[in-house]
């Protein structure tokens, strides 16, 4: 538990990140430890059962510009491949090379040139031979096979005509199969001898580009059809076809042979594990994913994995939201405990009495937690949907009522327990008052000769109670942020505004009195927000005096502004690193402090900073989230600060650690 935190809601089993694509590979011999990459961190080992994370040695934590053992890596770091013995892995260096390193020590053991960026990578069982794509002549593609330890090219196979190329090595690295397919070209599967440098055979048949795998002895090749689900066996020495194994119509994911070569398994993209007994090809009982309700949708390639722990037991894993879940066949037992959200937490709020915490996540669940113990009390709902997981970054409910009974998504109000939509407001991206009696949003579509409006609706009577006219300078109000004052008597908006001849947009802060509809004041904040949309959208929090706001802008600055008098904006602080910004400013109940999320980078380095108000002096920093902080909320008594994260977890911080404002 990080310093200052008293509880973690949910296991936070993040191994694939909030947006996936970092590569999660299960390691032998225990097949419960994942190796995964990350963003601004080195590779990490994750225990699939406990969620415990361990940095791979030799990678300097917290330095996105380079690592002590493997310099030259920046930003996103993806595990490209892991050897079958679990001792070596491949990552991509930013300068254009694949780097093979020892997982136990982090030591670099070899570098292979890579001019293709996202090229597919294959390793021999011991990680000493690597195959990858290279540019060819006349728009074709080559495959190079490299001796990692000797730093020498073993073979180069030229002239493959495909923008989509994959390759698989036999365990000893002596045989290679390539699979090439273009948008309008048929799939071509070819066998190659690394020893002679010659093609063994072009495999016949109408093949649609699924995965391939060699048997442990390298004598048999299995290829899966990505459409009809059939698996074809081949003689790896001659390319002659063997048995055809019939599977499911669901598109197949990875294939795996048992260590003795007597069983072949395939993981379909509906997460069913299929098995066949060899050599007769008899299909064994299929094993469906143990928690069918959690299936995100037919999985994307690269988000599923399959291996044999022994001759009788296959283990499968799949990426769901921010985590990788592990289960085995034929038992169908889920090995990863599910204790909380599986996707980013978009909403955190305490109930009015402070006894419970309500959270809503990208996994489309709303969960009720006991605030005293941090234990999950109830999964409130799994709302109706076209598919269970929305990985577009949207959340089932961006706002929850104080009792958790209602939720607001975009402009629609729902009854949470039943997932029933009650009604939809004729506004864009409605924001409610804290008591959920009112909601406001951008109402009238903007036109050059017509002012914009913000419309305020009563959620109880379902009537519009105010239509507030915005200044003509605001051209796209829906790219801004709005909020009610704590007593819901005023509305404040912060919107990037375009100005002729400027490529960067200042932010205009405006306030209105909801009783009279009168515009109170305007403040032009000299922020450097570039363009419009989510990346430029400011974050704001109204102060308890119903007159001022804290504003976080896209250029990494915090501001204080008075929207009633139109007083000039004052910069509170700014981040030193470029392309980072403060988010989710939130005031404490007594209004004397506010908290804000900060992407600090590095290992477990995302922060929550607490400032006094109105002086703007930083009082304390809580550090410990693995992934960005996506939601903040104070308890009604101010003694606890809850921070939700993109890894699906929520940390409860003890604010007793925060010094009292002077």
Burial 488-507 (b: 16+ CB within 10 A, else e): bebbbbbbbbbeeeeebbbb
pLDDT tens for 562-583 read 999 887 788 888 776 555 789 9
Distance of alpha carbon 389 from alpha carbon 345, whole angstroms = 13
Per-residue pLDDT tens digits for 604-657: 578 999 999 988 999 999 998 878 899 999 999 999 999 999 888 999 999 999
What is the pLDDT, as a whole number, of residue 64?
Answer: 40
Higher pLDDT, 302 or 241: 241
Provide the pLDDT confidence category of residue 41 given band limits of 50, 70 and 90. Answer: low
* CB atoms near residue 3 (< 10 Å): 9
Which H or E run contains 119?
none
Domain boundaries, the chain: 116-203, 226-335, 425-581
Average pLDDT of the chain? Answer: 85
Average pLDDT of span 296-301: 56
Q: Give the Cα-Cα-Cα angle 369, 373, 376 (nearest 5 degrees).
A: 30
* Rounded Cα–Cα distance for residues 102 and 87 (Å): 6
Residue 490 has pLDDT above 50, yes or no: yes
> 């390793």: which residue's tokens?
123
CB–CB of 58/101 below 8 Å? yes
Tokens of 191: 């066998």
Residues 6+ apart with CB under 8 A from 589: 634, 635, 636, 637, 638
Place of tokens 């795996």: 256
Least confident among 273-277, 333-337, 474-478, 589-593: 474-478
Q: Residue 30 CB: number of other CB atoms within 10 A?
A: 12
Q: Report d(CA 631, CA 652) in Å as an integer.
A: 12
Stronger pLDDT, 229 or 451, i.e. the higher one: 229
> pLDDT at residue 384 above 50?
no
601 — pLDDT class (breaks 50, 70, 90): low
Per-residue confidence (pLDDT) for residue 301, from 0 to 100: 56
Distance of CA 447 to the CA centre of its chain: 37
Provide the pLDDT confidence category of residue 182 given band limits of 50, 70 and 90. low
Predicted confidence band of residue 458 (pLDDT cuts 50, 70, 90): very high
Output the pLDDT for position 503: 58
The pLDDT score that the predictor gives to residue 383 is 47
Beta-sheet strand order (sheet of 199-203) = 164-169, 175-181, 188-193, 199-203
Name which of 6-20, 68-82, 139-153, 416-430 the model is least confident about. Answer: 68-82
Lowest-confidence region among 382-391, 474-483, 514-523:
382-391
- Of the pLDDT bands very low, low, confident and very high (cuts 50, 70, 90), residue 531 is low
Q: Where would I find the beta strands (DSSP E) of 390-503? A: 399-400, 406-409, 412-415, 420-424, 428-432, 438-442, 453-458, 463-469, 481-484, 490-496
**Order of strands across the sheet with 88-93?**
79-82, 88-93, 97-102, 108-113
Instruction: Give the residue-averaged pLDDT of 304-333.
Output: 91
Tokens of 547: 């007159």
CA atoms within 13 A on the CB side of 640: 24
Q: Where are the alpha helices (DSSP H) in 427-549?
A: none
In this chain, the answer to whether the domains covering 226-335 and 425-581 adopt an identical fold is: yes
Which of 647, 510, 507, 653 shows the shortest CA–CA distance to 581?
507
Checking DSSP bridges between strand 356-361 and strand 345-350, what pairing results, if any? Answer: antiparallel
Is the pLDDT confidence value at 455 over 50? yes
Mean pLDDT, range 257-272, rounded to an integer? 93
Q: What is the mean pLDDT of residues 197-211?
A: 82
Average pLDDT over residues 521-529: 82
Give strand pairing partners of 239.
none
pLDDT, greater one: 571 or 131: 131
Pairing relationship of beta strands 583-587 and 323-329 according to DSSP bridges? unpaired
> Would you list the DSSP string of 613-660?
TTT--EEEEEEEESS-EEEEEE-TTSSEEEEEETTS-EEEEEGGGSPP
What is residue 241's predicted lDDT score, i.e. its pLDDT?
Answer: 93
Q: Determine the 3-state secondary structure of 212 from DSSP.
A: strand
| pTM assigned to the model | 0.85
pLDDT above 70 covers a percentage of the chain that reads 82
Token pair, residue 644, equals 């939700």
Q: Which CATH architecture has domain 425-581?
A: 7 Propeller (2.130)
Beta bridge partner(s), residue 329: 314
Q: Which two tokens stand for residue 601?
A: 């980078």
Average pLDDT over residues 191-197: 96
**Length of the chain, please?**
662
**Are the C-beta atoms of residues 265 and 243 closer than 8 Å to each other?**
no
Give CA–CA dist 455/468, Å, rounded. Answer: 6
Statement: residue 387 has pLDDT above 70: no
Nearest to 328 by CA among 125, 647, 48, 24: 48
Mean of pLDDT values over 523-527: 85
> What is the C-alpha to C-alpha distance for residues 361 and 345, in angstroms, rounded to an integer?
4
Q: What is the pLDDT of residue 116?
A: 63
% of residues, the chain, pLDDT over 90? 50
So what's the pLDDT on residue 95? Answer: 58
Helices and strands (H and E) in the chain: how many: 0, 57
Q: Are 597 and 632 in contact (CB under 8 A)?
A: yes
Residue 167 · residue 223 · CB < 8 Å: no
Long-range CB contacts (within 8 A, 24+) of 60-64: 61/602, 61/603, 62/601, 62/602, 62/603, 62/605, 63/602, 64/40, 64/601, 64/602
Closest by CA to 506, choosing from 550, 541, 468, 553, is 553
244-254 pLDDT tens trace: 998 887 778 89
pLDDT per residue over 79-89, tens digit each? 889 999 999 99
Class of domain 226-335: mainly beta
In the block, residue with structure tokens 């994750």: 46
Q: What is the 3-state secondary structure (H, E, C) of 354-397?
A: CCEEEEEECCCCEEEEECCCCCEEEEEECCCCCCCCCCCCCCCC
């Amino acid at each position: 538990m990080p310093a200052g935190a008293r509880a973690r809601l949910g296991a936070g089993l993040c191994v694939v990140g909030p947006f996936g694509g970092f590569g999660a590979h299960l390691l032998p011999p225990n097949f419960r430890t994942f190796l995964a990459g990350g963003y601004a961190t080195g590779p990490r080992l994750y225990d699939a059962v406990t969620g415990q994370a361990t940095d791979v040695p030799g990678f300097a934590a917290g330095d996105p510009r380079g690592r002590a053992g493997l310099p030259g890596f920046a930003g996103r770091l993806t595990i490209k491949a892991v050897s079958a013995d679990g001792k070596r892995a491949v990552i991509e260096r930013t300068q254009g090379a694949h780097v093979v390193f020892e997982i136990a020590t982090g030591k670099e053991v070899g570098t292979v040139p890579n001019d293709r960026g996202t090229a597919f990578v294959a390793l021999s069982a011991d990680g000493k031979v690597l195959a990858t794509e290279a540019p060819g002549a006349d728009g074709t593609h080559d495959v190079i096979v490299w001796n990692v330890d000797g730093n020498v090219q073993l073979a180069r196979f030229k002239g493959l005509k495909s923008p989509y190329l994959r390759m698989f090595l036999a365990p000893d690295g002596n045989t290679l199969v390539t699979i090439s397919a273009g948008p309008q070209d048929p799939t071509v599967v070819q066998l190659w001898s690394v020893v002679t440098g010659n093609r063994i055979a072009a495999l016949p048949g109408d093949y649609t580009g699924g995965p391939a795998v060699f048997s442990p002895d390298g004598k048999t090749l299995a290829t899966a059809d990505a459409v009809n689900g059939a698996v074809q066996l081949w003689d790896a020495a001659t390319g002659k076809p063997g048995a055809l194994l019939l599977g499911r119509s669901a598109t197949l994911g990875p294939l795996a042979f048992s260590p003795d070569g007597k069983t072949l398994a395939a993981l379909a993209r509906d997460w069913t594990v299929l098995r066949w007994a060899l050599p007769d090809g008899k299909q064994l009982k299929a094993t469906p994913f143990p928690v069918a309700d959690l299936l995100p949708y037919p999985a994307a390639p690269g988000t599923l994995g399959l291996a044999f722990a022994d001759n009788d037991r296959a283990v499968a894993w799949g990426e769901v939201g921010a985590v990788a879940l592990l289960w085995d066949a034929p038992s169908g037992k889920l090995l990863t405990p599910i204790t909380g959200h599986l996707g980013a937490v978009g909403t955190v709020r305490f109930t009015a009495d402070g006894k419970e915490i309500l959270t809503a996540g990208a996994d489309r669940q709303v969960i009720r937690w006991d605030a005293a113990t941090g234990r999950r009390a109830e999964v409130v709902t799994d709302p109706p949907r076209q598919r269970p997981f929305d990985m577009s970054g949207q959340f089932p409910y961006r706002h929850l009522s104080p009792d958790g009974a209602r939720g607001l998504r975009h402009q629609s109000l729902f009854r949470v327990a039943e997932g029933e939509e009650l009604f939809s407001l004729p506004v864009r991206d409605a924001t409610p008052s804290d008591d959920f009696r009112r909601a406001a949003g951008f109402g009238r579509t903007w036109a050059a000769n017509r002012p914009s409006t913000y419309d305020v609706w009563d959620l109880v009577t379902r009537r519009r109670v105010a239509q507030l006219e915005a200044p003509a300078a605001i051209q796209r109000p829906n790219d801004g942020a709005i909020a009610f004052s704590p007593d819901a008597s005023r509305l404040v908006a912060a919107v990037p505004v375009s100005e002729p001849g400027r490529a960067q947009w200042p932010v205009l802060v405006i306030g209105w009195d909801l009783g009279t509809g009168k515009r109170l004041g305007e403040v032009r904040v000299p922020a450097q927000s570039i363009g419009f949309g989510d990346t430029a959208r400011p974050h704001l929090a109204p102060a308890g005096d119903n007159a001022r706001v804290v504003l976080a802008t896209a250029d990494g600055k915090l501001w204080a502004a008075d929207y009633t008098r139109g007083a000039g904006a004052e910069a509170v602080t700014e981040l030193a690193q470029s392309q980072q910004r403060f988010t989710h400013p939130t005031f404490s109940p007594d209004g004397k402090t506010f908290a804000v999320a900060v992407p600090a980078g590095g290992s477990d380095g995302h922060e929550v900073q607490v400032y006094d108000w109105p002086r703007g002096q930083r009082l304390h920093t809580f550090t410990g989230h693995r992934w960005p902080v996506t939601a903040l909320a104070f308890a009604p008594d101010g003694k606890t600060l809850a921070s939700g994260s993109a890894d699906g977890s929520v940390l409860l911080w003890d604010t007793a650690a925060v010094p009292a404002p002077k």
